[in-house]
Amino acid sequence: MEVTQVLLNAQSIDGAVRKNAEESLKHFQEQNLTVFLLLLSGELVSEEKPVETRKLAGLILKNALDAKDQQRKVELVQRWLSLDGNAKSQIKAGLLKTLSSPVSDARSTASQVIAKVAGIELPHKQWPELVAVVQGMSASEGNTDVRLAATRALYNALGFAQANFSNDMERDYLMRVVCEATLSPEVRIRQAAFECLVSISSTYYEKLAPYIQDIFNITAKAVREDEEPVALQAIEFWSSICDEEIDILEEYGGDFTGDSDIPCFYFIKQAIPALVPMLLETLLKQEEDQDQDEGAWNIAMAGGTCLGLVARTVGDDIVPLVVPFIEENVTKPDWRQREAATYAFGSILEGPSPAKLIPLVNVALNFMLSALTKDPNSHVKDTTAWTLGRIFEFLHGSAVDSPIITQANCQQIVAVLLQSMKDTPNVAEKACGALYFLAQGYEEVGPSSPLTPFFQEIVQSLLTVTHREDARESRLRTAAYETLNEVVRCSTDETAPLVLQLVPVIIMELHNTVEGQKLSSDEREKQSELQGLLCGCLQVIIQKLGSSESTKYLFLQYADQIMGLFLSVFACRSATVHEEAMLAIGALAYATGPDFAKYMPEFYRYLEMGLQNFEEYQVCAVTVGVVGDICRALEEKVVPYCDGIMTQLLKNLSSNQLHRSVKPPIFSCFGDIALAVGEYFEKYLMWAMSALQSAAELSTHTTGDDELIEYINTLRNGILEAYSGIFQGFKNSPKTQLLIPYAPHILQFLDGIYMEKDMDDVVMKTAIGVLGDLADTLGSHAASLIQQSVSSKDFLNECLSSEDVMIKESAEWAKLAISRAISV
């Protein structure tokens, strides 16, 4: 087979030629994989071949090693590992050789393939020559392209280099080569080398101590003198170290013993005398229009972000290092100095104790309120509003002992924020954010809120903002609605009549968006964004007014009108709108209760569409949640719709197309349905239990990364919620004996997850509840099984002595249910 020609044909403009070539490649790959891969690597290595065939050969090689689909990926890895050893060595030698090719496309393709091979082989300790890749990084390598490709290859392989990093000599060598590469004359190599350092900081944090002083010197030089892409990575190194130390300190709560698993080296605490001044300097390197550009990221923003992480890592120790900088710069004539001082203050508000910060805030507050309306520079106003928001977020609310907002200054604060909401969109957006946290701080204030006298004016100002011509800039309209929602959510009974007056206003706004005008695609996007915001606002209002009997009664006069609008919104067909409207319907179902049945004939088809929406899986997940809300509202009135709903849910569970995150809520939903319809669930019992059993088997005996373990816990919780709902639904029915055959399997599942010892608190509480439900519903049938189970007793005792009140209460109930069942 003439590989070069076939690879050229596979890129032909002529469809027939192209298709023919693709067929030949596929056929050859299936016939003799080893020879196929050897020929491809030969093509990639050969300097005589055309660049486009070398590139495609590398791409096909790469795709033979990796796939997005997890199942396929596992197959490809196994296939590579079982290939003939000599062939693999030949392919790998060719790849390493290609790193020094004069053709840049060949080099970069080879380094991508090398990373894939490294990803497969290093965990199996199969590629000791990889350190050879790193030799291409050393300063003696004259060809900058080889040095760059080698540095990128190392970056891609770092996750698998545990063995190399555990060996002192190899680690010293790797670190030396990486640090040397940060000083290369070529900017792309310096940037790639710092990217390696960032990756090393999170993957091998515990190995960094001997190198940290040198790394500080290298990063400090880069931050002060190098080009922005390099300087950004140098700052990112310290942000990454902060992330590591914040995680360690949170996990251990500061109670470290000498032999702690993951020692914290307190690198940041030791570095702050030099690190903080370096970061403060970066704050003065702002760009003229950074506050207009949503995606802006520059050295000043990176420095401020890192400063915020340092504050969270070291707490009070940062304050004396930053205060002199603020005092010196905040009144300077140059806007850059005023803005940097304000940004520094805002950045350190999370981390240090209120006792340390509140005295500073009390001094600064009046100055900042004045700057927000009077400073001539828009940047300074933008950062001032952001900083006020941070003050209200972290230092205002029921948890803070000495309030910074008093009767005396509350009116002035509200007046200044409302005034600022008329400023340019970016400043107005930050002012909305500050008002959001101001309202949130009064959430648990009791019957009367200090904001009550200003409620009407606040709501009116926010609605005015949503109508601004420029409200789509800087996310302003979204921020205004989010703030309106928060103001409503945190309002007290005193202002309920005013919230009720808001209902027809929002209804009218939503009505205007569904009127049948012909729209361009840009206008349609604007319209659906606005519909989403209005549905979200109605959801909050429904929850607020539905939570107390007196207002619920008055609110329900609007229910028909609102539901009609939601159905019109569905007719407009857009994913984000669907999600928001679905959530609002869930809230409406909860508020209207059994009366919601009258909307079901018309609403059901949209419910079904939502459950079938695999593409936009968040919509599907939200719809599954709404099925639960409707079951709780309608109880047995949901029976006529159950066949359709259960059929679709079982279909969803067996589909590979549906995102895995939707599956746990589907199981919980089985529980909601069973609880609503009681023994009528018999019709679906066999199918539901079979699906639950397969999922239960999948969710025990698992090992994996944190993300997988978190998913498995969510899955277990969904399965347990289903069991709980099914058992409670059948309780006191003559048909409970139908559940007896399933009891041993459920106990086995509970045993399995208890023995694995990686349950989180949520799963623990649900699991012990299921043990109780089992005894409560099946009585003596379950009691004997529970008594025979070894781990059930241990599990119960562990939960009874838990410090978590919810777990303890569930366990006490379960103990009572079990002892009642035994005495029967």
Q: Please state, in angstroms and rounded to a whole number, the distance separating the CA atoms of residues 644 and 275.
A: 62
Q: Which residue has the higher pLDDT, 84 or 257?
A: 84
**pLDDT per residue as tens digits for the range 767-821:** 999 999 999 999 888 888 888 887 888 999 999 999 999 999 999 999 999 999 8
C-alpha count within 13 angstroms, C-beta hemisphere, residue 121 = 20
Per-residue pLDDT, averaged over 678-693, amounts to 96
Lookup: tokens for 728: 């409670």
Q: For residue 446, give the DSSP letter.
A: -
Q: Please state, in angstroms and rounded to a whole number, the distance separating the CA atoms of residues 257 and 260.
A: 5
Per-residue pLDDT, averaged over 244-268, amounts to 76
Region for 63 from its dihedrals, namely left if φ exceeds 0, alpha if ψ lies in -120 to 50, beta otherwise? alpha
pLDDT of residue 260: 54
The residues near 765 (Cβ < 8 Å, ≥ 6 apart) are 804, 806, 807, 810
The residues near 484 (Cβ < 8 Å, ≥ 6 apart) are 459, 462, 463, 466, 537
Per-residue pLDDT, averaged over 54-67, amounts to 92
Q: What is the dihedral of CA 666, 672, 677, 678, to 10 degrees?
A: 110
Q: Please state, in angstroms and rounded to a whole number, the distance separating the CA atoms of residues 94 and 103.
A: 15
pLDDT of residue 747: 93
Residue 633 has pLDDT above 70, yes or no: yes
Q: Which residue has the higher pLDDT, 706 or 684?
A: 684
Residue 256 has pLDDT above 70, yes or no: no
**pLDDT per residue as tens digits for the range 91-122:** 988 988 887 788 888 888 888 888 788 778 87
Per-residue pLDDT, averaged over 207-219, amounts to 96
Least confidently predicted of 50-54, 402-406, 419-423, 640-644: 402-406
Least confidently predicted of 419-428, 467-476, 782-791: 782-791
Q: Please state, in angstroms and rounded to a whole number, the distance separating the CA atoms of residues 112 and 60.
A: 12
Confidence label for 719 from pLDDT (cuts 50, 70 and 90): very high
Least confidently predicted of 302-316, 562-576, 714-728: 562-576
Longest dimension (CA), the chain: 87
pLDDT of residue 171: 92
Residue 258 has pLDDT above 70, yes or no: no
What is 326-390 written as a DSSP string?
HHHHTT-SSHHHHHHHHHHHHHTSSSS-HHHHHHHHHHHHHHHHHHHHH-S-HHHHHHHHHHHHH
pLDDT of residue 262: 62
**Using alpha carbons only, what angle is made at residue 628 by residues 626 and 634, rounded to the nearest 5 degrees?**
100
Q: Please state, in angstroms and rounded to a whole number, the distance separating the CA atoms of residues 623 and 578.
A: 9
Per-residue pLDDT, averaged over 273-291, amounts to 91
Residue 184 has pLDDT above 90, yes or no: yes
**pLDDT per residue as tens digits for the range 579-590:** 999 999 999 999
Residue 368 has pLDDT above 60, yes or no: yes
Tell which residue, 38, 72, 44, 79, has the closest CA to residue 58: 44
The residues near 25 (Cβ < 8 Å, ≥ 6 apart) are 6, 7, 10, 60
pLDDT of residue 427: 96
For residue 815, the tally of other CB atoms under 10 A from its CB is: 18
Least confidently predicted of 20-24, 352-356, 756-760: 756-760
pTM of the model: 0.84
Q: How many residues does the chain have?
A: 824
Q: Which residue has the higher pLDDT, 654 or 758?
A: 654
Distances (CA, A) of 66 to 27, 53, 76, 152, 213: 19, 20, 6, 18, 39
Tell which residue, 495, 439, 444, 485, has the closest CA to residue 463: 485
pLDDT of residue 128: 67
Per-residue pLDDT, averaged over 231-247, amounts to 97
Tell me which amino acid residue 305 is: T
Per-residue pLDDT, averaged over 567-595, amounts to 89
**pLDDT per residue as tens digits for the range 481-509:** 999 999 999 999 999 999 999 999 999 99
Tell me which amino acid residue 805 is: V
For residue 593, the tally of other CB atoms under 10 A from its CB is: 16
Per the prediction, the chain carries an average pLDDT of: 91
Q: Which residue has the higher pLDDT, 256 or 42?
A: 42
pLDDT of residue 398: 80
The answer to whether 256 touches 263, Cβ cutoff 8 Å, is yes
pLDDT of residue 562: 97
Q: Please state, in angstroms and rounded to a whole number, the distance separating the CA atoms of residues 770 and 391.
A: 44
pLDDT of residue 455: 96
